[in-house]
Chains A and B, each alone.
Chain A
Amino acid sequence: MFASRWRAAWVAFVCAVGLVGAQNAYAQEEAPRRVGLSLMVSHVSPLPGPIDPTITAIHRRILDEFHYQSLHVLERHSMELQLQEVGGVVLPTGKRVELRPIAVSPTGVLIAVDIPGTLQTDVRVPNRKAVVIGVDRYDDGKLILTLEPNY
């Protein structure tokens, strides 16, 4: 007596799961499979000097938080990585920073950033927005990395 009712409920359950699963699969297929990443390596120093005009947005953001007098770009790298592919850059300190895009969603790309022995972080960055990472001492100041996806 309950069998037909339960059968209908079960069919509805399976259909609902199937629909959501299909929508997920479709969304994943729509997501880009390759992610462009730019990595800028800069140096901030407490010694007097110029502020690089190409990174004034970053300067404005950290100006009130950290004490420094000069900021300039050392290196610019760009790479295009597949999801789960690891891209690496050797920093002026000799340490290597590894980047691995994990997943792309409507709100950004999830990226694993690994500087072995120093930092492991996962950041989800909206397209063409930056994440600034202040890492190790270098010369009289500190290295900062600016990571920006473009996909």
Chain B
Amino acid sequence: MSACDNVGPLLDGYYDGELDSLERTRVEHHLQSCDACRRDLTSLEAVGHAVRAAVAGTQTPDVWRAIASQLPPERARVAAPLRARAPQRRRWIPAVAAAAVAASIFLVILDPGGFLGPDADIGPSGVVRSIYAPDRAVMVMEAEKSDDPTIIWLMEDAPEAAPHVRI
């Protein structure tokens, strides 16, 4: 197994700041000598920027700096780490969006009865859902207008006798 194979899976965590110091050092050491992993890291950063830009729409002004300048120094130090964590939360948005899509697919494909109900539409008006007449030909005339009744007609003659069928 190459060094890239070992370090590659850690890149995402490295980008997210989730690695411990030993792993972080190991990744940084590898990045110094590996163009491919540097490109992967650059791609991760590009995706992160794109997602944040899409979510935020436009760059927000650095409000914190303005607020911190108004606070006593000790309060500014306490609050600063909370601010630093805020951008990381936006990285969950792709995962949450993917989960929502997966849930929709799950509900539509695996649970069609529960999601769509047992009588989802079939056909133009969908009045006749199923029909079985063991030894008779059947003519079905779906309603053309909303006030028209739908007609199911068990034939006595062969269907070729239409349009004027003997009753």
Question: What residues of chain A have their CB less than 8 Å away from a CB belonging to chain B?
Answer: 1-2, 4-6, 8-13, 16-17, 20-21, 24, 44-46, 57-58, 61-62, 64-68, 102-103, 105, 107-108, 110, 117-126, 129-137, 141-142, 146
Q: Contact: B150 with A9, CB < 8 Å?
A: no
Q: Which of A11, A65, A134, A142 contacts B152 (CB 8 A)?
A: A134
Interface centre among B126, B148, B167, by most chain A C-beta atoms within 10 angstroms, is: B167
With A107-B121, A118-B133, A124-B129: A44-B149 Cβ-Cβ less than 8 Å: no
Q: Which of B115, B151, B166 contacts A67 (CB 8 A)?
A: B166
With A44-B167, A46-B167, A119-B132: A16-B104 Cβ-Cβ less than 8 Å: yes
Write the nearest CB–CB distance from B132 to chain A, whole angstroms: 4
Q: Which of A44, A67, A136, A141 contacts B164 (CB 8 A)?
A: A67
Docked pose: A57 CA to B121 CA in angstroms: 25
Tell me if B51 is interfacial: C-beta within 8 Å of chain A: no
Q: Contact: A131 with B164, CB < 8 Å?
A: no
Q: Which of A5, A66, A129 contacts B167 (CB 8 A)?
A: A66
Known: A118-B134, A121-B131. 14 other contacts (CB 8 A): A2-B12, A9-B95, A13-B103, A17-B106, A46-B167, A65-B139, A66-B153, A67-B165, A103-B117, A123-B129, A124-B119, A131-B151, A133-B154, A137-B156
Q: Which of B95, B126, B148, B149 contacts A124 (CB 8 A)?
A: B126
Docked pose: A118 CA to B152 CA in angstroms: 13
- 21 CB < 8 A contacts A-B: A1-B12, A12-B96, A16-B100, A16-B103, A20-B115, A44-B167, A45-B167, A57-B148, A57-B149, A65-B139, A66-B165, A67-B164, A102-B118, A103-B118, A118-B154, A119-B152, A122-B131, A130-B150, A132-B152, A133-B154, A142-B156
Query: How many pairs of A and B residues are in contact by the CB < 8 Å rule?
Result: 165
Question: What residues of chain B have their CB less than 8 Å away from a CB belonging to chain A?
Answer: 9-10, 12-13, 16, 18-19, 91-92, 95-96, 98-100, 102-104, 106-107, 114-115, 117-119, 121, 126-134, 136, 138-139, 141, 143, 146-154, 156, 162-167
B-side binding surface: helix, strand, loop or mixed? mixed
Q: Contact: B163 with A65, CB < 8 Å?
A: yes
Write the nearest CB–CB distance from B68 to chain A, whole angstroms: 28
Q: Contact: B127 with A123, CB < 8 Å?
A: yes
Q: Contact: B154 with A135, CB < 8 Å?
A: yes
Give every chain A residue within 8 A of B92 (Cβ-Cβ).
5, 8
Q: Which of A6, A58, A117 contacts B134 (CB 8 A)?
A: A117
Nearest CB to that of A104 among chain B residues?
Answer: B119
With A105-B117, A129-B149: A5-B104 Cβ-Cβ less than 8 Å: no
